[in-house]
Amino acid sequence: MVLLKIYVVRRGDSTYSIASRFGLSVEELARANDLSDPSALAVGQALFVPVISVIHTVRRGQSLYSIAQLYQTTVSSITAANPSLSGSAVIYPGQKLTIPFPDERWGELEVNAFVYPGVSQSTLSSVMPWLTWLSIFASMTDTQGNLSPINDDAVVNAALAASTAPMLTVVNMRPSGGFSSDIAHSVLTNRAAQDNLMNNLTAALSSGRYKGVVLDFEYIYSFDRESYNQFLQRVVETLHPLGYYVFTALAPKISAAQSGLLYEAHDYAFHGKWADRVILMTYEWGYTYGPPMSVAPVNMVRKVLDYAVTVIPSGKILMGVPNYGYDWTLPFVQGSAARSISNAYAPTLAVTNNADILFDQPSQTPYFNYTAADGKRHEVWFDDARSIRAKLRLVADYALAGISIWTADRQFSQLWLVIQSMYSVIRVM
């Protein structure tokens, strides 16, 4: 069993000193945290330490408080793990103490991950044991209900070999990119186009390669809300008798009356009634063309879940978890674009630019600022083991089915290690 210990780097720490403190090799610590250069750490960087406990030999001058500070734990935890102390704070040099790290098992959950067909096989194979569902992104429909071919044989075969359920993701996107309200309008309201889409969808599933479909229809006109509901019902009534699952992906709403093209046609209550799983895309508060902020702030995600569980059975909800961060150039100018970065790379960027990593308590998210070689200031928000743990606690808090990761294409070992440390992953195959 891998238990959860998160250590936050302090000034003067090194990978060697931290690894030695917890009884690990530098290689083990580096592997768990995707450290490209184990000799370089940023102050404030969160490290996942894959240990259950360590034995500490008391040195002269140490107290229970100083030892607790050394391991970033509490005196009460140490006392509880060492009955020989009998509640006393008196310790002596040479005495051996067990330093425990709590078991944070929160139960079971389902894990869905979106991937592109070009995901590397090494990345895919490393995460496949921790997935319930694998949603391949994506097969595009057009205004006539045709489905674009998708070269996903390698991904689907890898999923099936690992007993992970592959899902066909269908989107209303243009070949040139971007979601199209007009494509959605056509397939939702034009009977011939919808019939064609249903035939193509059934044919794609009948190959036996997929276990179901994810409907990711976005930017739907508000007046097509009821048409989308009826389409979803038709898909479910067609595919359920054939043994297929039907998922939908919905924008993160905080009320039924929320306005905007992203939200109005997404009827939480109706999707909650008909779909097998509802993926809530709880990310992109911080986004490419917006001002610097957390991509998925826990305080905002809670607001979405507070509403969602009142109209969707909580056991059908997969909460979205982003696997990326952003690097903004300051001062932010409306229309300027942030650079997308991987969570594993963010600490390296901090080290390179001699930046300390800070942690925002309301959003439960790490961030930092730095000055680039060209003299421009930057602000970076990303996820680490601490913010992933905070998000995963919401699954238990709201009794959700699980999480949905966008996307698993980028390596981020902390994400998967934290999942393993907190939950058992449900398999459906």
Enzyme catalytic residues:
218
- Residue environment code for 81-118, b if the CB has 16+ CB neighbours within 10 A, otherwise e: bbeebeeeeebeeeeebbbbbeebeeeebbbbbbbeee
> For 10-96, where are the alpha helices, taking DSSP H only?
15-21, 26-32, 64-71, 75-81
Which tokens belong to 412?
């981020």
Residues contacting residue 124 through CB under 8 Å, at least 6 positions apart: 115, 155, 158, 408
Which tokens belong to 283?
């990310």
DSSP per residue, 86-135: TT-----TT-EEEEE------EEEEEEEEE-TT--HHHHHHHGGG-SEEE
Pairwise CA distance, residues 106 & 99, whole Å: 22
Q: CA Rg, the chain, in Å?
A: 24
How are beta strands 365-371 and 358-360 bridged, if at all?
antiparallel
Residues contacting residue 229 through CB under 8 Å, at least 6 positions apart: 267, 270, 271
* Residue 7 to residues 46, 65, 257, 329, Cα–Cα distance (Å): 6, 17, 43, 29
